[in-house]
Chain A
């Protein structure tokens, strides 16, 4: 039943999945006991295999080979540049802005 609920949330209109996630967060916040074992197991399996679900859309590059060939320089520079700028800026702000207790989650990284 919970699994079905999870599914139905995914059906909401655009941006459906994100609305679904927000709704589920508030539901679990409001009633923590709704977080049942099956729901947790289902979500863990889905997230374990998340990478797999991106493959079909990723293969879509092959239908854009002509654009890639004609404009590969701007695409490559734009992709690498904007991704790295965004990654570094987010990390910088997360580190520099005030934290309530900055030491609690350290050394979780290899």
Chain B
């Protein structure tokens, strides 16, 4: 017998308290696990929280739709949180001066490659066009990725999931890659994390240091303008 056999459960699950309680406690558990593992980047709190919530919904038989509706407040806060990246950015603005072209070029290359390689690899491995265009906008911040996927025939919820998993992948792999390449520049660290891993990448960079966070924020901001153009151009080359 599952919890959703009881009518009272479905009423309870619809209240905002439900989704937020489940999400916050899973995220706190994720943070605790990361701390217990000695700050390992493999124990990413977002990833752990997603798995815990998914498991909980599955065990209780609660549909994703019900959960999603009860977490509207958290989803709304993504907007102001993106705006909030302006603060670390402006506090480190003097580091941007003089290297504007480097930044624009590195970002355009990084985000175009993300979209083109993403679409190319999906098709090469026999994926459908819908999956390819859910992959294409994943380097941009999640809310924008959803909108681009919608406009180009991708699957919006898959696009959101890919944007988040891509960000988690960046957070997990970046220390390893940078150590391997011997790069020790906080600006490069933050900017690459923000370009390839959007919001989660930038948040990871910010947890590293404020300068890295500022460059992550910068990358997310410019990417929000560049990636839509690239993906819409790709979709025009290859219409539905």
Contact = CB atoms under 8 A, between A and B. Distances in A.
Nearest to A103: B185
Interface in A17-38: 17-18, 20-22, 24-25, 28-29, 32, 35
B157 A77 contact: no
Given A47-B84, A59-B67, A64-B155, A90 B196 contact: yes
B127 to A, nearest CB: 3
Place the interface of chain B in its size category.
Answer: 35 or more
Given A7-B80, A82-B118, A90-B192, A54 B86 contact: no
A85 interface: yes
Interface stretch (B7-15, B22-30, B232-240): B22-30
Contacts of A107: 184
User: Shortest 10 CB-CB distances between A and B: which pairs?
Assistant: A74-B127, A17-B82, A10-B79, A90-B110, A43-B84, A82-B118, A18-B224, A74-B125, A86-B114, A24-B86
Interface residues of A, number: 77
B181 A15 contact: no
Contacts of B67: 56, 59
A21 B82 contact: yes
Interface in B172-214: 173-175, 177-178, 181, 183-189, 191-193, 195-197, 199-200, 203, 206, 208-209, 211-213
Interface of B: 19, 23-24, 26-27, 45-46, 49-50, 53-54, 57-58, 64-65, 67-68, 71, 74-75, 77-90, 93, 95, 98-99, 101-103, 105-107, 109-111, 113-115, 117-119, 121-128, 130-132, 135, 138-139, 141-144, 146-147, 155, 157-158, 160-162, 164-167, 169-170, 173-175, 177-178, 181, 183-189, 191-193, 195-197, 199-200, 203, 206, 208-209, 211-213, 217, 219-221, 224-225, 228
